[in-house]
Structure 1
């Protein structure tokens, strides 16, 4: 059943490439801070493990070297970023950068994303390369990840963007 709020959400225009890029730059700055925090936590855990003698560190092999010796630290950081973006996409349809640029991620009918759609979108939008599809398909203004996940990124009105997580509609 489609609600009145979903009908309103579905009426907003699709976002263009430059607006998406601007929001992506904002989100990149936030993502850098999230990565720094996650790295600090990982370094603290490595320090605690070394203090408790679970791992052995030398002068040439410090905490950072221990963390980066295999693929696990990189996988950990990717999972942290996936959880960060996935949470915002699924809960409100807006990351911090998307909110600043009045963008909202939603289904074509205006409803929130499902977990499956969020995961599909995360897998297909790595490094923002899926957005380059818009340069070929500028009529529909949808990126590759939008097609794969069945979603769209819309530009909200100023009034609609002021509503906190769409609870007022």
Structure 2
């Protein structure tokens, strides 16, 4: 992971984007839990929250994922970087899995194509944040910046 920039100048912006994605997922989960109260846990009824289909199971998963992303924003530092980097792969895999099971009985989270698209877009945003929000000591960041601008010749070794 040596190619991931350390202390990128837009790091606070990327961290804020991932935090906003976490809050959005958390809000969706809470609204979905309220909307699906009284229905079966894995209901396949037409339950909608924030323009996406849901059920109680998917709402609880969304609350968990949103809370973890939002906590990563609040905590910051390298933990935020790792949460964003690895959490994005969970979101992207979930979006692709949702597409794969969309019209089958395995669609236990009551997804529609809108859900899959939203999770893939959010996964991409969080991945971008994970690639650019790595924190580190200032000296390696300065050396890396100088290498990027071709101001220093890298040591052979």
Shorter-chain TM-score range: 0.3 to 0.5
TM-score (norm 2): 0.33
TM-score (norm 1): 0.31
